[in-house]
Copies of this chain bind each other. A is one copy, B any other.
Amino acid sequence: MTEEIVPDVVISRLPWYLHTLNQMAKEGVRTTSSMILAERLGITAAQIRKDLSYFGGFGKQGTGYSIYFLIEQLQKILNLDRIWQVVVVGAGDLGRALTRYPGFANRGIEIVLLFDNDPEVVGTMVGPILVKNIDSLEDDIRRLGIKIAFLTLPASAAQTTAERLVAAGIEAILNYTPVTLNLPEHVHVQRIDPVLHLQRMMYYLGDA
């Protein structure tokens, strides 16, 4: 669909567009404009039009966007027209929270494996998922052909475990550890760190 390479920062905004459009659809709205979207998202209308132009536009001059059409197109662009299976590595508080997160249902994401190395935790259930011994990590991931992992281990085990994940075929890691992972270029890693989110808000709080 795309002819040129789309900047990652543009890709990072598409899920937000989709999320907002889904909300508007739920509210019964049928068409929208870059102006209305911009107001709801807190960015400029020009930015939205430019982002969407990478994929061919989708709107007619003056008539705006059909919300359902735009949702369908964004889902295709983001490869959301299928179910993605995900593995959670680390069954501590955060791994358990992610495994039980209700927001995955109906959004194309299914947690299918959960690993830990603690003998007290292995064999217990977290929601509908059995905690498996991390010894079978590679075999289970390969067998199911899983490409995406949440890494929620202690920092000391992060790099070695990430390497095992990549060797087993994982291509995308959401990294909740404080470690900057050193992995092959084809692996997509996103660091999730609540401190970085907080620091952004502290800029504004300083005026208070």
**Residues on the B chain within 8 Å of A174, using CB:** 194, 197-198, 201
Is A84 part of the binding interface, using a Cβ–Cβ cutoff of 8 Å?
A: yes
- Asked whether, in the complex, the Cβ of A203 is within 8 Å of the Cβ of B104, the reply is no
- Asked whether, in the complex, the Cβ of A202 is within 8 Å of the Cβ of B97, the reply is no
**Residues on the B chain within 8 Å of A92, using CB:** 97
Cα of A203 to Cα of B77 in the assembled complex, Å: 7
Give the shortest distance, in Å, between A206 (CB) and chain B (any CB). 3
Chain A 63-83 interface mask (CB, 8 Å, partner B; 1/0) = 000000000000001111000
| Count, chain A residues at interface, CB 8 A | 58
- Contact among B94, B190, B198, B199 for A94, CB-based, below 8 A: B94
Is A132 part of the binding interface, using a Cβ–Cβ cutoff of 8 Å?
A: no
* Interface SS majority for chain A: helix
Cα of A198 to Cα of B19 in the assembled complex, Å: 13
**10 A–B contact pairs at CB < 8 A?**
A9-B43, A14-B199, A14-B203, A78-B200, A84-B202, A97-B97, A98-B194, A109-B198, A171-B204, A172-B204
> Residues of A at under 8 Å CB distance from B?
8-9, 11-12, 14-16, 18-19, 23, 42-43, 77-80, 84, 86, 92-94, 96-98, 100-104, 107, 109, 147-148, 150, 155, 171-172, 174, 178, 180, 188, 190, 192-206, 208
